[in-house]
Structure 1
């Protein structure tokens, strides 16, 4: 390999690569000895993503080239832990139709991911063997895929390596735990459809919580509904506090429950989920929780906005029928506004109309605040505040023009 090309790959010198490629394109096909690495292998090893992107432009078929160990650049990047380059190479392979994809009759990216080196390791094996398979939170790659909702990746990893079912994070949670906790319904459904992974369904974490407990704690009604419909799910399992999922709902439900919480309760009660032996004691004299403070905090603001929106609606409605200059009493224009031909009149009418409709919409939106959902309350208040602001501005402009 040309020393200039090697130095450019290790340093990420894009300008030098561009000059070399335009000067003599065949240089990019040179390999180093004795490892037979291409310039793409070198760039992948040194985590030079921008360099990799430029190589794709000048020499796209390098994605399939192997070194003396039968490793592609994807193997090298995975082994080095350069995941930004891995992502770039996979994206490259998806758009590339090469010899691998033609032989296997499928996307080049999937073929490259499964392609083994001389040791029989795929890119996934290299990534796991060369690095600690768990991150700072104890999350393995399959945990991360489950949290992100990549059901296809989770399925592929479980089929390729069934031992992934034994991977636990620091909370002793399996992949079904983290998927249920994150609200990833597709991942949950995929795991439930795999008969060989039934042991994950009622497994407990270090607090005694099953996936159903966690889906309930984090108020994911779709996940709860999916789990309770599966006959293998034991809804009577209690955690270390002696609580079943229904007990958790009754213990932590707020006076003003959101729709998500109400749907979660409905899913559990419809499935006739049992209570624990020791029902949770609820302190009736407890201090107001955060949602209670939220409602009280916004109550005066809601009332003020409602009153203001109503007043603007009344004033602008009256202004429309009390036209500046009045109406013509006789002649062919009888009943028409006397200032109809003036530009200021049209501006007045436009501003008044906008103010009236904005205030009406704001008043209707504020009705949402009475539904008891604190999240909906905040959204409705923000929308109404914006609409009332527009209405006040338009009303001020209208009366300035009329004056």
Structure 2
């Protein structure tokens, strides 16, 4: 039987006589995978020796991924077979599969110390230690990537003079050990030639210090400081230094260590002009900001390339709880009304970014000025109204506008504002926006009218079939029936008026459409509420014989009607009202919608400030 031989085992002159094997003998493959030493030996003995190299022809058989029997035995953890192959066929140790991996790569990735020891001890030249796969990872790289510290120590101790380079990601052994937090491995690497490496220009930013910060290992930072302080000054491609990294991931201990050792890091900006305090503010890490302000109080005056301070950045990020904590810091008091290069205060920035909870926190702060204008002459409310006129306006921006209207935030002079709006918006898009609103409300009103009309002729309890009261409702004397009839009638007539009003609106101009919308929304709210009451009264009548169920229906229905009114109230009546009582009641549906948005958290500010 002729068995094709893998050409990598052959001399260059003999390669033409052989083809690459594409499959492995089934019996040999099965015995290797199952770890059956006896069957494996029988399968190996079936094949004659190769004359040139004195290797069994069977050993060069490859699986679909060009893996040898040693690859298979190693991946399945069969020690006896690996031991036998390492003893009789040590050349297999350096053979690579389709991914460029030796059996040592597989053993190191699995963290199997015994297999690693067997493989490295059989390689007398130590060539296999430097073999790299297609990712340029050696076995030692793999051990560190998969956090196998003991395996890494075995590989290092095998040859402490072995030169290693970085992998395709630019990560050195020292970087990987620092990322994993292995202090003892780092000591081995830095105290021996094995830890020396060269980095090309493409990967010069992969600093072990940055890796230690990402791994949040203070012990590694201290060791690196002790052995190589120059590595702390390395910056990444974005211009971020080590303190930026610590601030970006909220590593408080690392940031404290760096501030004490390299306080000048706090005054280094990245390519975007962000200083470490801005990075911490963007991510919402209050402890790091407090620590920086305590140790280096003048960092609060640092500005980005756009002239924005720490509150501007926090307002733009939209992290509500962190922003509220910043507002309470006395050190940042004077920053609340500072403007960036575009004249925007933190309130302007939060409004532009559409963060309603941040806006609410700012307007509840008595030190925040609501009437300040930016370089375009716009207040925060002006900006919110411009965004509302943009189609489609997001729910967050609608709530932002709502917050400013409820507090009574001022506008700029109306003529100036209208001129700005005309420059930014086309009248046609505004008309299309309103037409869409009209169509949606008209559809809902039509459905309400249809449902209530039908309910008017299908009374709860039915009708009497005998004279003299034939056709009269059976439950005419019941109080809940009276409620049903009144509410159902009101719902149908209100819905009908809404439908007719909006039909007229589509025939008129833009101003007529606006007036129609303002009239239709409250009427639709009344119709929906009355329809819900009618439904509740009708169901109550139908189950009135079972008192607990009737009471449950009444309680549940009442709760949902209150919720409906709270949700609909801001849509119907929200405006720049000067009436304190209206602001008081509008506050609760506003908070409810913030909570539904997922951005509401309890605020300690008192409601009296909101209503002043």
Query: What is the TM-score of this pair, normalised by structure 2?
Result: 0.34
Which has the higher Rg, Structure 1 or Structure 2?
2
